[in-house]
Amino acid sequence: MSRALDVLPGPWLLRSTSPGLEAHAELRGSLPQLDAASLLALVEASGLRGRGGAGFPFATKLRATVSAPGRRRHVVVNLSEGEPASAKDLALTLHQPHLVLDGASLVAHALGTREVHVVTAAEHPEAQEALLAALAERRKERRDGRRRWRLHEASPRFVGGEASAVTELIDGRPNLPVTSWRPTALAGVDGKPTVLSNGETYAQLAALVLGGAPVPGTPAEPGTRLLSIAGPTGTTRVVEVAHGTPWRTVLSTTELAAPVLLGGYHGTWAPAGALEQLSVSHADLTAAGLGLGAGVVLPLAPGTCPLRATAGVTRYLARQSAGRCGPCHQGLPALATALDAFLAGGSLERVERLRSLVVGRGACAHPDGTARLVGSALAAFPDEVAAHSDGQCRALRPALTTVGVR
């Protein structure tokens, strides 16, 4: 990967960036064994939301799996981050693997499950190496008894980390999304109730349970967020910020003055300057029509046309379709072509029609996310839309057409 990665120390998960078990145990103590009721109560009180993109309340997921009928249950840690600009789960794996593994172990114990599946990205073999080293330490120190860990590698594509694609991979089938007739919490791996969540979700859970430091954040939103900020310079920085932190202190003046794509390629555009009065908070961003998704933050290079950047990302997303669902396979390339044609003075109506045509018509949310990105660009940049409708582009640097694409 051509991007350099900077991982900065943070207030909570990244209090230490030293990956060893000895340092981890010294900082956070031993791993308690909570039963399902105690763990659920704790998760519920914290309001913890999943960090893989959808932001679903983790307590709801956990409760569904706990109370599902049958004895067998599965736990899956998803560290695969198929989003090209996302690096927070890699950062966690390399710097705080034991925090992630502790979180998974807590959930497995509460569910009475011995086995935990951990999925990393195939393009980052160093992630699996870091996990193998961490697991060897845990066995030696008997951190979590007879826990059995199964490592998997997700294919390097955008949709490879999607929940159903991950359960397919674990079940020994191609790592591609399939139709989920029932939620993963009730029917996931091997058709059994499964807690499947992003790596950061487990790390947040472990930090809450292990304690050892006051919980950062706000009373309404305790805890922190890991952000992967991929500026136009080619460096991705992973930063951990407490909920409620003003964006003014997270991004540079140049980044704040430019449009920012929040939540990655399936995300929404914040127009130039829009983040100056907002904070890193689910409630704050939702009220402004924005969201953090999996925490990818993409400030646009100054002077670049956000619509051209969006068109570049849309072409990329169209190529990333697994090609198994007709409306996505046909619709996303058509949408990308229509957007390019509009930017060259063509019809906006065709873009809008194709955009609404793909929504809700795939096994996964890839078409929906792509439609969301395009819709948000059209809504956030009315001046650019008007200029392109007249065959003009307001950008100073029309040559730069992508944002964060590696």
Partner 1 sequence: MSREADLRVDWPRCEGRALCHELLPELIDLDPWGYPIVNGPVPARLRPAAREAVRDCPKLALRLIERKDSA
Which residues are near partner 1 by CB under 8 A? 176-179, 181, 324-328, 330-331, 334, 357, 361-363
Residue placing its CB nearer to partner 1 in the complex, 338 or 380? 338
Using an 8 Å Cβ cutoff, are 13 and 204 in contact?
yes
Phi, psi for 205 (deg, rounded to 5): -60, -45
Token pair of 221 as six digits? 């939103």
d(CA 400, CA 301): 8
**For residue 303, is it left (φ>0), alpha (ψ between -120 and 50) or beta?**
left
Q: What is the DSSP string of 202-229?
A: HHHHHHHHH-SS---B-SSSBSEEEEEE
Return the H-helix or E-strand segment holding 405. Answer: none
Sign of torsion, CA 368 373 374 379? positive
Placement of tokens 């799996």 in the chain: 65
d(CA 404, CA 229): 9
CB of 113 to partner 1, least distance (A): 28
Burial of 277 (0-12, 13-18, 19+ CB in 10 A): exposed
CB of 336 to partner 1, least distance (A): 15
Token pair of 162 as six digits? 């999607």
Using an 8 Å Cβ cutoff, are 74 and 166 in contact?
no
Residue placing its CB nearer to partner 1 in the complex, 264 or 367? 367
CB of 319 to partner 1, least distance (A): 18
Angle at 252 between CA 246 and CA 255, to 5 degrees: 100
CB of 36 to partner 1, least distance (A): 25
d(CA 402, CA 11): 32
Burial of 390 (0-12, 13-18, 19+ CB in 10 A): exposed
Residue placing its CB nearer to partner 1 in the complex, 2 or 179? 179
CB of 182 to partner 1, least distance (A): 10
Beta strands 235-242; 224-230: pairing state: antiparallel
Residue placing its CB nearer to partner 1 in the complex, 11 or 346? 346
CB of 153 to partner 1, least distance (A): 22
Strands of 4-7's sheet, edge to edge?
4-7, 235-242, 224-230, 296-299, 260-262, 268-270
CB of 320 to partner 1, least distance (A): 16
CB of 334 to partner 1, least distance (A): 8
Residue placing its CB nearer to partner 1 in the complex, 272 or 374? 374
Residue placing its CB nearer to partner 1 in the complex, 257 or 348? 348
Placement of tokens 């393009």 in the chain: 123
Sign of torsion, CA 91 96 101 107? negative
Residue placing its CB nearer to partner 1 in the complex, 25 or 334? 334
Residue placing its CB nearer to partner 1 in the complex, 246 or 333? 333
Token pair of 56 as six digits? 């679903």
CA 244 to chain centre: 19
CB of 245 to partner 1, least distance (A): 38
CB of 405 to partner 1, least distance (A): 27
Residue placing its CB nearer to partner 1 in the complex, 309 or 325? 325
d(CA 95, CA 184): 29
CB of 309 to partner 1, least distance (A): 27
Residue 293 DSSP class: T
Residue placing its CB nearer to partner 1 in the complex, 177 or 216? 177
Residue placing its CB nearer to partner 1 in the complex, 186 or 334? 334
